[in-house]
Structure 1
Amino acid sequence: MDFSRRSFLKKSGLLAGGAALTSLSFLQSCASSDSEENSEVTNPFGIQLYTLRDIIGEDPRGVISSLAEFGYQQIESYEGSMGIFWGMSNTEFKQFLDDQGLSMVSTHANVFENFEEKVNQLAEIGVPYITCPYVGPQESIDDFYQLAEQFNELGEIANNAGINFAYHNHAYSFEELDGEIPQVVMMDNTDPELVDYQMDIYWVVAAGEDPAEWFRRYNGRFTSGHVKDYSGGEEPESVVVGTGTIDYPPLLNVAEMNGMEYFIIEQEAYTDTTPLDAARANAEYMKNLSI
Structure 2
Amino acid sequence: MRKSQIAAQLYTLRDYARTAEELDRTLAKVAAIGYRAVQVSGIGPIAPADVKASAERHGLGICATHVGYGRLKDELDAVIEEHRMWGCRYVGLGMMPAQFLQAGREGYAAFAKDIAQVAHRLQEEGLQFIYHNHKIEFEKYGGGSTGMDLLLQGTDRNDFHFELDTYWAQAGGADPAAWVRKLAGRMKVVHLKDMAVVQDKQVYAEIGEGNMNWDAILDACRAIGTEWYVVEQDECLRDPFESLAISYRYLVQRAEN
Q: Deviations over 1:128-170 (max 9, x none)?
A: 1110001243222111011112232111111222211110001
Compare 224-233 and 202-211 and name the one that shifted more.
224-233
Which residue is equivalent to 2:228?
Answer: 262
2:180 to 212, 215, 237: 215
1:119 to 65, 80, 88: 80
Alignment partner of 2:245 out of 280, 287, 290: 280
SS at match of 1:118: helix
Q: Distance in 1 between matches of 2:124 and 2:162?
A: 18
Gaps of 5+ in 2: none
1:49 CA drift (Å): 0.2
Question: Would you say the 8 A contact 2:11–2:42 is kept in 1?
Answer: no
Q: TM-score, normalised by structure 2?
A: 0.88
Any residues of structure 2 matched to 1:1-291 within 5 Å, and which? 25=1, 41-57=2-18, 59-80=22-43, 82-83=44-45, 87-90=46-49, 92-113=50-71, 114-135=75-96, 136=98, 137-179=101-143, 180-232=145-197, 234-271=200-237, 273-289=238-254
- Matched position secondary structure for 2:188: strand
| Alpha-carbon distance between aligned partners in 2 of 1:49 and 1:243, rounded to the nearest angstrom | 20
Aligned partner letter, 2:32: E
The answer to whether the Cα contact below 8 Å between 1:120 and 1:161 also exists between their aligned partners in 2 is no
Determine helix, strand or coil for the equivalent of 2:156: coil
Q: CA deviation at 1:206?
A: 0.6
Q: Which amino acid aligns with 2:218?
A: L
Contact 1:200 1:227 in 2 (8 A): yes
Alpha-carbon deviation of 1:218?
Answer: 2.7
CA contact (8 A) 2:158 2:186 kept: no
Q: Secondary structure at the match of 1:231?
A: strand
Q: Is the 8 A contact 2:65 2:91 kept in 1?
A: yes
Q: What CA deviation, in whole Å up to 9, does each residue of 1:190-241 have, x standing for no partner?
A: 1111111000000000111111211222322222111100014642111111
Q: Which amino acid aligns with 2:224?
A: N
CA–CA separation in structure 1 for the residues paired with 2:175 and 2:95: 21
Deviations 1:6-62 (A, max 9, x none): xxxxxxxxxxxxxxxxxxx3xxxxxxxxxxxxxxx5433101101112222261100
Between structures 1 and 2, the one with greater helix share: 2
**What is the rounded CA distance, in whole Å, between the counterparts of 1:89 and 1:55 in structure 2?**
17
Q: How many residues end up aligned between the 2 structures?
A: 246
> Closer, same or farther in 2 for the Cα pair 1:256/1:63, shift >3 Å?
same
Contact 2:38 2:60 in 1 (8 A): yes
- 1:216 and 1:265 mapped to 2: Cα distance? 19
Q: Percent identity?
A: 22
Q: Which amino acid aligns with 1:97?
A: A
CA separation in 1, counterparts of 2:201 and 2:187? 28
Give the TM-score normalised by structure 1.
Answer: 0.79
SS at match of 1:105: strand
Paired letter, 1:175: E
